[in-house]
Amino acid sequence: MSSIRRLFVCTKQKSGVGADVAKALKKELKRQGLSKQVINGHKLRTHVQACDCLDLCHDCKKGHGAALIVYPEGVVYGNVLPADAAELVARHLGQGQVLARLQLDA
Protein backbone atom coordinates (compact mmCIF):
# COMPACT_ATOMS: atom_id res chain seq x y z
CA MET A 1 0.00 0.00 0.00
CA SER A 2 1.31 3.42 -0.91
CA SER A 3 0.37 6.68 0.77
CA ILE A 4 1.05 10.27 -0.18
CA ARG A 5 1.91 13.10 2.19
CA ARG A 6 1.63 16.62 0.80
CA LEU A 7 3.12 19.90 1.87
CA PHE A 8 0.85 22.69 0.63
CA VAL A 9 2.90 25.91 0.46
CA CYS A 10 1.20 29.31 0.09
CA THR A 11 2.72 31.36 -2.73
CA LYS A 12 0.48 34.43 -2.42
CA GLN A 13 3.04 36.66 -0.62
CA LYS A 14 4.15 39.82 -2.41
CA SER A 15 7.79 38.88 -1.84
CA GLY A 16 7.47 35.53 -3.62
CA VAL A 17 9.03 33.72 -0.66
CA GLY A 18 6.48 30.89 -0.91
CA ALA A 19 7.85 29.75 -4.25
CA ASP A 20 11.36 29.84 -2.79
CA VAL A 21 10.21 27.80 0.24
CA ALA A 22 8.57 25.20 -2.03
CA LYS A 23 11.75 24.94 -4.11
CA ALA A 24 13.92 24.58 -0.99
CA LEU A 25 11.63 21.87 0.45
CA LYS A 26 11.77 19.89 -2.80
CA LYS A 27 15.55 20.17 -2.84
CA GLU A 28 15.86 19.02 0.78
CA LEU A 29 13.48 16.09 0.31
CA LYS A 30 15.70 14.86 -2.49
CA ARG A 31 18.99 15.65 -0.72
CA GLN A 32 17.92 13.91 2.50
CA GLY A 33 16.39 10.97 0.62
CA LEU A 34 12.97 11.47 2.19
CA SER A 35 10.77 11.94 -0.88
CA LYS A 36 10.09 8.19 -0.78
CA GLN A 37 10.12 6.32 2.51
CA VAL A 38 9.01 2.97 3.89
CA ILE A 39 7.51 3.31 7.36
CA ASN A 40 6.29 0.20 9.18
CA GLY A 41 6.16 -1.65 5.86
CA HIS A 42 4.10 1.06 4.12
CA LYS A 43 5.41 3.14 1.24
CA LEU A 44 5.11 6.88 1.79
CA ARG A 45 5.76 9.47 -0.90
CA THR A 46 6.01 13.16 -0.06
CA HIS A 47 5.06 15.88 -2.54
CA VAL A 48 5.45 19.64 -2.25
CA GLN A 49 2.51 21.49 -3.76
CA ALA A 50 2.54 25.25 -4.29
CA CYS A 51 -0.91 26.78 -3.87
CA ASP A 52 -2.32 30.25 -4.35
CA CYS A 53 -3.64 30.98 -0.85
CA LEU A 54 -4.11 29.09 2.41
CA ASP A 55 -5.92 32.01 4.09
CA LEU A 56 -3.40 32.04 6.95
CA CYS A 57 -1.87 35.52 6.65
CA HIS A 58 -3.58 36.67 9.83
CA ASP A 59 -1.99 33.73 11.67
CA CYS A 60 1.44 34.37 10.15
CA LYS A 61 1.25 37.93 11.49
CA LYS A 62 2.33 39.19 8.05
CA GLY A 63 5.84 37.83 8.65
CA HIS A 64 8.47 37.51 5.98
CA GLY A 65 7.92 33.77 5.47
CA ALA A 66 5.32 31.48 3.98
CA ALA A 67 2.54 29.41 5.48
CA LEU A 68 2.33 25.70 4.80
CA ILE A 69 0.19 22.74 5.81
CA VAL A 70 1.44 19.17 6.11
CA TYR A 71 -1.32 16.83 4.98
CA PRO A 72 -2.74 14.46 6.15
CA GLU A 73 -1.25 15.28 9.56
CA GLY A 74 -2.85 18.73 9.54
CA VAL A 75 0.17 20.47 11.04
CA VAL A 76 0.24 24.16 10.09
CA TYR A 77 3.46 26.17 9.94
CA GLY A 78 3.87 29.89 9.44
CA ASN A 79 6.60 32.37 8.63
CA VAL A 80 8.65 29.58 7.03
CA LEU A 81 11.74 30.72 5.16
CA PRO A 82 13.85 28.78 2.64
CA ALA A 83 16.53 28.49 5.33
CA ASP A 84 14.06 26.48 7.47
CA ALA A 85 13.61 23.77 4.82
CA ALA A 86 16.48 21.49 5.91
CA GLU A 87 15.34 21.44 9.55
CA LEU A 88 11.67 21.03 8.66
CA VAL A 89 12.37 18.10 6.34
CA ALA A 90 14.78 16.39 8.76
CA ARG A 91 12.74 16.84 11.93
CA HIS A 92 9.10 16.76 10.83
CA LEU A 93 9.27 14.51 7.78
CA GLY A 94 12.25 12.42 8.85
CA GLN A 95 11.77 12.11 12.60
CA GLY A 96 8.08 12.93 13.04
CA GLN A 97 8.78 15.91 15.34
CA VAL A 98 6.74 19.09 14.96
CA LEU A 99 8.81 22.29 14.84
CA ALA A 100 7.16 24.26 17.65
CA ARG A 101 8.90 27.53 16.74
CA LEU A 102 7.12 27.59 13.35
CA GLN A 103 3.86 25.87 14.25
CA LEU A 104 0.62 27.84 14.06
CA ASP A 105 -2.55 27.15 16.01
CA ALA A 106 -4.76 27.25 12.93
Q: Output the tens digit of pLDDT for each of the chain's 106 residues.
A: 459 999 999 998 777 899 999 999 999 999 999 999 888 888 999 999 999 888 777 655 556 889 999 999 999 999 999 999 999 999 999 999 999 999 988 5
Q: Which pTM value belongs to this model? A: 0.89
The domains located in the chain, with CATH, are 2-95 (3.40.30.10)
Nearest to 69 by CA among 18, 15, 2, 16: 18
